[in-house]
Structure 1
Amino acid sequence: MSRFRSLTPRRKKNHTLRAVSAKAAWGRRVLILSGFVMACVVGYYLLPQATAGWTTIQHVSISGAKFMKRGEILSLLDLPPDATLWTVEASKLEERLQGHPWVASVSVGRAFPNTLAVVITEREPVAAFQHAGGKLFLDQEGVVLSIVSEEATAGLPVVSGLSAISLLQGDPSTRDRARLGVTVARVLRDKFHGLLHIDLENSNEVIAETKDVTFLVNQHIEQTWQQYLALEPTIQAGNPTAPYEIDLRYSDKVIVRQRG
């Protein structure tokens, strides 16, 4: 009995010590949490000021642009004078640039310190569209790129026979015809490297003229061209007299005729 009585004060002492230790631990947690909250508050107000020197946009790095001018790109970005790498929204800047007809794709990113990085993939001009008012660039999708000088279109296949207004307005059927013309030009350019003219005026056929040979083709050019390549050695062995015409509008035959 006396033994149990002697343990009671010890238990009370241990309980008291544990209570004191728990209060001290809780106090430390509160102190740490308070310090963390205060650090967050101070950081929220002071960090932007402390980092402003190396986040303020002082330079715009532009890569991939061959036809678009730097000033034109900066104008589209329309950055405010106090813009920083934290305040600009890359997605919105990309949307502004994506609306330009020359831009196929664009990426805007941050490059510390002080630099906004713009990477542009431009549409490639693959043909010159001839119309009454001059020439326009077309890309491989038949998209009109811009009005250009005579020098800039030198060497490109020339496409004609479409409505410039319909093409500029993005009319689907006109765009499809332009795309077909570009496809014909691409196929023939693999074989003929001189001046190439693609006439799209007739909706039932495409007339492709090289220096000595005129091709009559349609929307199945990529299939019928293989027929021509298979027969080309035989055709050349016959020594056709230039200028001559090759009709590839049929799926089962290739017609060669003298051009008057």
Structure 2
Amino acid sequence: MGRRAQNSVTAHAVALPSGASGALGRVLRLLDFAFRWFFGIALAIGVVWGTVTLEQFFINDKRFALPGPPEPGTLSDSFVIEGSLHASEAQITDLFLRDFGRSIYLCPIQERRRRLLGIDWVRNASVSRIWPNRIVVRVWEREPVAVVQVPGPDTAMLYSLIDADGVLLDPRRVTRLALPVISGISPTDKEASRRERVKRFLRLQSELGSEMANISEVDLTELDNIRVVRVMDGRALTLMLGNRDFQVRWQSFLDNYSEIRKRLGNASVLDLRLRDRITAVATEELRDE
């Protein structure tokens, strides 16, 4: 009897109304959401604060400042240029003048690389931060394939260099370079046009091989009719090679030169494009005769 009474009292003490239980659950969920929200905000603030603090450390700490040159006209030991043979080191250094004396963290790497690619001799470039306070610039230079005659003021002819991409290069930084001379290219031509002409010249060079040493000039004015100048017996002959079969036409000229000289003795321009014959092209010299 006593045990039954005790059980009845105990059961009555732990029972909760269904409404109160639901309210408690909502309160707990609300507290959990508030805690998570507060923790997330605190974490975000902490990350932002930490990032700003770290960034300011990299910007303001003197250990990360790029030292400038010890005196004008010299290079800083902390600013290294690699691979530059013809590209002007002074021109490269000028692009980084704003970076001397401040943290290398502030150096806009991609912007500096983009401006490096604007230098004529630079084909490719990389810029690297070397912590704590060094900048290394690596350049890959363009390789000239020919000397090009370009029209200058007052009908004067100037000389430049040109690479396989048709980019004109300043020749003043080159002391000695044995390259063929080409004409028919202008600085005002679009780069794609210059590139196509150089491509045609390189094919000619590949087909003729060692015979290129005997050619004093290649005229690329007409892509469909490349002209070359060769000195034979003390006379400069202009040979019209067309746009294909360069080696075959050249060899035909050499094989038949003795006969050509007999028949076309005073001709200075010869057309080699026909399969079965070589003809003289009328010039003022021939007309005068």
Question: Where on the TM-score scale, by shorter chain, does this alignment land: which range?
Answer: 0.5 to 0.7
Note the alpha carbon deviations across 1:35-60, whole angstroms, 9 max, x for none. Answer: 52453343244212433446544533
Greater mean alpha carbon deviation, residues 27-36 or residues 6-15:
6-15
Please state if 1:250 is matched with 2:256.
no
Distance 1:92 1:150 in 2: 28
Letter in 2 for 1:39: G
- In the alignment, structure 2 segments of 5+ residues that lack a partner are 1-6, 68-77, 151-155, 262-267, 281-289
Please say if residues 83 and 141 of structure 2, whose CA atoms lie closer than 8 Å, have aligned partners that are also in contact: yes
Distance 1:202 1:31 in 2: 75
Residue in structure 2 matching 1:62, options 66, 81, 85: 81
Please state if 1:40 is matched with 2:47.
yes
Please state if 1:143 is matched with 2:138.
no
Q: Percent identity?
A: 19
Return closer, same or farther for 1:99/1:21 CA change in 2, 3 Å cut-off: same
1:2-41 pair list within 5 angstroms: 2=8, 4-8=11-15, 29=36, 32-33=39-40, 35-41=42-48
Q: CA RMSD in A?
A: 4.9
Note the alpha carbon deviations across 1:158-203, whole angstroms, 9 max, x for none. Answer: 224x4xxx72333679847853674366336633363542242875
Please say if residues 99 and 107 of structure 2, whose CA atoms lie closer than 8 Å, have aligned partners that are also in contact: no
Residue in structure 1 matching 2:227, options 206, 224, 230: 206
Please say if residues 122 and 139 of structure 2, whose CA atoms lie closer than 8 Å, have aligned partners that are also in contact: yes
- Residue 93 of structure 2 is matched in structure 1 by 74
Shift of 1:63: 3.1
- Residue 107 of structure 2 is matched in structure 1 by 88
Return closer, same or farther for 1:99/1:219 CA change in 2, 3 Å cut-off: farther
- Residue 126 of structure 1 is matched in structure 2 by 145
Letter in 2 for 1:79: R
Please say if residues 108 and 119 of structure 1, whose CA atoms lie closer than 8 Å, have aligned partners that are also in contact: yes
Please say if residues 87 and 119 of structure 2, whose CA atoms lie closer than 8 Å, have aligned partners that are also in contact: no
Return closer, same or farther for 1:248/1:92 CA change in 2, 3 Å cut-off: farther
Local SS of the residue matching 2:160: strand
Return closer, same or farther for 1:102/1:172 CA change in 2, 3 Å cut-off: closer
Return closer, same or farther for 1:68/1:211 CA change in 2, 3 Å cut-off: farther
Please say if residues 207 and 247 of structure 2, whose CA atoms lie closer than 8 Å, have aligned partners that are also in contact: no
Return closer, same or farther for 1:176/1:13 CA change in 2, 3 Å cut-off: closer
TM normalised by structure 2 equals: 0.59
Number of residue pairs matched? 245
Letter in 2 for 1:156: L
Return closer, same or farther for 1:100/1:235 CA change in 2, 3 Å cut-off: closer
Greater mean alpha carbon deviation, residues 86-95 or residues 20-29:
20-29
Please say if residues 66 and 99 of structure 2, whose CA atoms lie closer than 8 Å, have aligned partners that are also in contact: no
Is the radius of gyration larger for structure 1 or structure 2?
2
- Residue 105 of structure 1 is matched in structure 2 by 124
